[in-house]
Structure 1
Amino acid sequence: MSTKSTNNTLLILVILLCLVVTALGYYTYGFHSEVQAREAQLAEEKERVVQQLEEELSNYNALLEEKNALKTNLQQAQTRLKQLKKTLTSNKITRTTVQKLQIEIRRLRREREFFSTQNDSLQLETKRLATLQEETQKALELVTKSQDSIQKSNKELSERLMQGARLTISNLAARGVIQRNSGKFANTSRANRAEMIQVCFTINENKLTQEGNKTFYVQVSYKNKVIGVQRYEDWPDGTTIIYNTKTTIPYNQEAYTICELVLPIQKMNGGDYTINVYHDQELLISTELGLK
C-alpha cells in the first residue's frame, strides 16, 4: 500500500515537473519572441528615423543651396542632423534614444519650415523690391527723357532767342563817289574819277536785342587786300580784324542807318571791290562794287 502511494506521488511530481518545464519553455519562447518583436520594431523605428534624418538632411541641403540669407542657421541645423545620424550608428540604441531623436527631428523640421517661411517672405520682399526698382528705373528713365526733352527744348528756344536777338543788316549799298565843291556827293562808276567809296546800310529793328551801344566795322578790299588806311583790332576770340571804318551807335531796338566814306590812299583801279560789314566778331552782310 505504501509502495503504491509513493508511486502516485512520484507520478504527480513528474507531471507537475513536465507542466513546469512546458510552462517555462512556453514563457521562454514567448519572451524570446517578444524580444525579437521589440528588436524588430526598434529596428523599424531606427530605419524610419534614419529615413527622416535623410529627408531632413536633403531638405536642408536644398535650402542651403537656395537660401543664402539664412545660410548660417541652416548650416548649424544641418550639422546637428549629421550628429543625430551619427548617433544612430551606435550599438547602444534604446527606445528612449529613438524617442529623443524623433523629438529632435521634429524640432529641426519646425526650424526648417520656419526658415523656409522666412526665406519665402524674403523672396517675396526681394521680388517686390525688384519690381519697385524696375518701376522706379522706368520712372527715372521717363523723367530723364522728359528732362532731356525739356533741356533740348530750352536749348532750342535759347538758340532761337539768340538767333532772334541777333542784329541784322539790310539795304547795303556801295558806290563810287566824288565830292563837289558844294560838299555834295555825286555817284560815279569810273574808277579814275572816284575819290572814295560810300557805304550805307540799315541796322534793322529788333525788339529782342538788348539796347545799348553797338559797334560796326566796314571793310573794303580789292583783290583780297584792304584798301586805304588799314586799322587793326584784336577780338576776344583771338582773331584780328583789319577794317577801314568803325562806328558805334546807341541802339534802341529801332532801325538805324549808317553811311561811311572809305578813302583810298591812291587812285582806284577798275575792277570789283568787296564790301563787308562786321559786328560782334561776325560777318553780317557782304556785297560787291564794280568800277570801270
Structure 2
Amino acid sequence: MENQKSNSSLKAIIVVLAILLAGSLAYMYKISSDAKTTETALVKDKDSAMTELIQLKQKLDAAIAENTSVSDELIAEREKVVKLMADLEKSKGDVASLKRIQSQYNALNAKFNALVKENGLLKDQNMTLVSKVDSLNMALGEKIRFNDTLVIQNENLAKTVEKAQRLVVMNLRTQGIKEKSSGREVVTEKARRADKLKVCFSIAQNEVAQSGDKLYYVQIIDSKNNVLGEKKVENFGDQTLTYSFTTTVAYENKSVDVCESLDNNGVDFEKGMYFVNIFDKGTLVSKTSFTLK
C-alpha cells in the first residue's frame, strides 16, 4: 500500500518536472526567436540607414557639381555624411547607435534641404539680375549705337561744312610779259623778250566761307624743272613745299581777281613748257601750264 503511494507521488513529481521543462523550453525558444527577429530588424534598419546616407551623399555630390555660391557649405555637409557612413559601418547595429545615426541623418538632410532652397533663391535672384543686366546692356548698346550715329553724322556734317567753306580758285592763267618804257605791258610768247611772268587767278564767291586775309603759295617750274623766284621752303606736316612767292588776298565772301608778277631779274627765261601751281597751305587748289618759245 505504501509502495503504491510512493509510486504515485513519484509519477506526479515527474509530470510536474516535465511540464516545467516543457515550459522552460518554450520560453527559451520564444526568447531565441524574439532575439533573431530583433537582430533581423536591426540589420534591416542599418541597411536602410546606409541607403539613406548613400542617397544623401549622391544628392550632395550633384549639388556640389553645379559649383554654386553654397558649394563650400555643401562640401562640409558631405564630409559629415561620409563620416556618419563610416560610423554606421563600424557600429554593431544596436538600437542606441541606430537612433543616434538616424538623428544625425535627419539633421544633415534638413540642412541639405535648407541649402538647396537657399541656392534656389540665389539662382532666382541671379537670373533676375542677369535679366536686368541684359536689359541694361541692350539699352546701353542702343545708346552707344545712337551716339556713334550722332558722331558719324557730326563728322559728316563737319566735313560738309569744311567742304562748303573751302574757297575755289579758278581761271588760273600765266603769260610772258614785256614791259615797255612807257610802263605798258605787252604779252609775249618769246622767252628772250619776256621781262616777267604774270600769274592771274580768281577766287569764287562763297557766302559760308570765313572772310579775311587768305594766303596762297605760287609755284612756277621752268622747262628744266627748276623752281623760279624766291625758292623758299615751307613744311606742312610731312609735306615740304618749295614755292616761288606768296600772295595775300583780302577775301570778303565775294568773287575776287588776283594778279601777281615774277621778274626775271635780268636773266632770260628758259624756252619750253612751264608749270604753275597754286597751294592753299599744303593743298594744291589749282594748276596750269604754258609755253615760252
TM range (shorter): 0.7 to 0.9
Is the 1:232–1:240 contact (alpha carbons within 8 Å) kept by the matching residues of 2?
no
Cα RMSD after superposing both structures: 2.7
Where in structure 2 are the equivalents of 1:206-285 lying within 5 Å? Answer: 206-223=206-223, 224-227=225-228, 229-237=229-237, 241-265=241-265, 266-285=267-286
Match of 1:87 in 2: 87
Is the 1:167–1:204 contact (alpha carbons within 8 Å) kept by the matching residues of 2?
yes
Q: Secondary structure at the match of 1:226?
A: coil
Is the 1:67–1:119 contact (alpha carbons within 8 Å) kept by the matching residues of 2?
no
Is the 1:220–1:243 contact (alpha carbons within 8 Å) kept by the matching residues of 2?
yes
Aligned equivalents of 1:208, 1:23: Cα separation in 2: 131
1:281 CA drift (Å): 2.7
Aligned equivalents of 2:75, 2:263: Cα separation in 1: 101
Match of 1:48 in 2: 48
1:34 CA drift (Å): 1.0
Is the 2:91–2:97 contact (alpha carbons within 8 Å) kept by the matching residues of 1?
no
Aligned equivalents of 1:160, 1:143: Cα separation in 2: 25
Q: How high is the sequence identity, in percent, across the aligned residues? A: 22
The 1:16/1:209 distance shift into structure 2, 3 A limit, reads same
Match of 1:107 in 2: 107
The 1:241/1:57 distance shift into structure 2, 3 A limit, reads closer
Is the 1:245–1:260 contact (alpha carbons within 8 Å) kept by the matching residues of 2?
no
Q: Secondary structure at the match of 2:183?
A: coil
Moved more, 190-199 or 132-141: 132-141
1:240 CA drift (Å): 5.3
Q: Which amino acid aligns with 1:83?
A: K
Aligned equivalents of 1:238, 1:112: Cα separation in 2: 74
* Matched pairs, number: 291
Moved more, 98-107 or 267-276: 267-276
Aligned equivalents of 2:240, 2:108: Cα separation in 1: 89
Aligned equivalents of 1:242, 1:58: Cα separation in 2: 87
Whether 2:265 is the aligned partner of 1:286: answer no
1:107 CA drift (Å): 1.7
The 1:203/1:91 distance shift into structure 2, 3 A limit, reads closer
Aligned equivalents of 1:279, 1:90: Cα separation in 2: 100
Match of 2:62 in 1: 62
TM-score by length of structure 2 reads 0.85
In structure 2, stretches of 5+ residues that fail to align are none
Q: Secondary structure at the match of 1:272?
A: strand
1:187 CA drift (Å): 2.6
1:45 CA drift (Å): 0.9
Is the 1:213–1:250 contact (alpha carbons within 8 Å) kept by the matching residues of 2?
yes
Q: Secondary structure at the match of 2:210?
A: coil
1:285 CA drift (Å): 0.8
Aligned equivalents of 2:156, 2:211: Cα separation in 1: 23
What is the CA deviation profile of residues 27-81 of structure 1, one whole-angstrom value per residue up to 9, with x for unaligned ones?
A: 1111111111111111111111111112112222222223353233222222222
Aligned equivalents of 2:160, 2:260: Cα separation in 1: 32
